């Protein structure tokens, strides 16, 4: 019996659910041979769950408040860690031999199945010259022991930024200096809002995964499906071509399914 491999994402509400749907469609469009799993929290509506079920092989509800492990205790003490605790459940997917986690605000521009050849914990640097990795895309190996160790670590040390980025960087602290073979090329997690984006031009030309890191996500803009124009975006701060690409994928692949299930007739 060979264990399967899977991409994993997380949606803690309907908006990030839309992001997950675009991500899932982008992986399918580029013909991934791996499975697709989405972790959802109780905030995600029934309709969005149903549509997620059409793209993803598994839609798994993660309810930290009802968990049997120490994450419930951590949540009581530090409620702001709820997203991080939900994300950590990806290590419990032990029926899979290896996984690639991707934020719901990422999108694949081509087939990236070769990521499964990398070992835990492989990731891209948070920015050029950074000693931290970005947790928007990472390769990992599910293990209940690792999940327990991460929770223990979170309980004892917390996270330096109150999020998963700080926790995972402290836990996988060898990444920066020792595990150089686990440094993924920037093309696998290209932050289109980086101030260094222009110096990353060669990588951008070969981009495999775009990450809409930061406060404004593509779904926060409004889009006119008739004129195909994204409205009220600030051209000086983002790379509109990627926002357009996201909306293009959303309107062609995701919106018809949402409409079919009675969610939103118009997006703008």
Positions in the binding site for Mn ion (CB under 5 A): 103, 105, 136
Q: Judged by CB, which is closer to Mn ion: 46, or 188?
A: 188
Q: Judged by CB, which is closer to ligand UDP: 214, or 225?
A: 214
Minimum distance of ligand UDP from residue 74's CB (angstroms): 17
| Closest among 155, 149, 167, 27 to 87, alpha carbons compared | 167
Q: Edge-to-edge strand order for the sheet containing 122-125? A: 58-61, 35-40, 4-11, 96-102, 133-140, 122-125
Q: Examine residue 10 and tell whether it contacts ligand UDP (CB under 6 A).
A: yes
Per-position x/- string for 104-123, each x denoting binding to ligand UDP as judged by CB under 6 A, each - no binding:
xx------------------
Q: Judged by CB, which is closer to ligand UDP: 156, or 192?
A: 192
**What does R_g of the chain's alpha carbons equal in angstroms?**
18
Q: Which two tokens stand for residue 222?
A: 């409004």
How far apart (Å, rounded) are the C-alpha atoms in residues 107 and 242? 9
* One residue of 83, 109, 245, 263 binding ligand UDP per CB under 6 A: 83
DSSP letter (8 states) at residue 58: E
Q: Examine residue 216 and tell whether it contacts ligand UDP (CB under 6 A).
A: no
| Closest among 268, 225, 223 to 243, alpha carbons compared | 223
Residue keyed to tokens 């920066």: 176
* One residue of 6, 8, 14, 16 binding ligand UDP per CB under 6 A: 16
Q: Which two tokens stand for residue 186?
A: 């920037």
Q: Which residues bind ligand UDP (CB under 6 A)?
A: 9-13, 16, 83, 103-105, 136, 213-214
């Amino acid at each position: 019996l060979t264990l399967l491999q899977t991409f994993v994402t997380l949606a803690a509400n309907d908006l990030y659910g839309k992001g997950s749907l675009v991500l899932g469609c982008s992986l399918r469009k580029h013909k991934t041979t791996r499975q697709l799993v989405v972790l959802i929290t109780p905030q995600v509506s029934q309709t969005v769950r149903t549509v997620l079920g059409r793209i993803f092989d598994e839609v798994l509800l993660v309810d930290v408040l009802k968990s049997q492990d120490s994450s419930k205790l951590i949540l009581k003490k530090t409620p702001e860690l709820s997203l991080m605790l939900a994300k950590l459940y990806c290590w419990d997917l032990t029926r899979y031999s290896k996984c690639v986690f991707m934020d719901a605000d990422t999108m694949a521009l081509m087939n990236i199945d070769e990521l499964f050849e990398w070992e835990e914990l492989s990731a891209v640097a948070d920015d050029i010259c950074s000693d931290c990795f970005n947790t928007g895309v990472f390769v990992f190996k599910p293990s209940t022991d690792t999940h327990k160790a991460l929770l223990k670590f979170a309980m004892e040390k917390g996270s330096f930024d109150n999020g998963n980025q700080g926790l995972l960087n402290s836990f996988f602290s060898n990444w920066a200096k020792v595990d150089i073979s686990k440094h993924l090329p920037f093309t696998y997690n290209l932050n289109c809002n980086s101030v260094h984006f222009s110096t990353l031009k060669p990588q951008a030309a070969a981009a495999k995964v775009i990450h809409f890191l930061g406060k404004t996500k593509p779904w926060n803009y409004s889009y006119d499906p008739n004129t195909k124009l994204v409205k009220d975006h600030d051209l000086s701060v983002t790379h509109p071509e990627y926002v357009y690409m996201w909306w293009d994928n959303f309107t062609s692949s995701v919106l018809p399914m949402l409409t079919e299930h009675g969610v939103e007739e118009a997006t703008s």
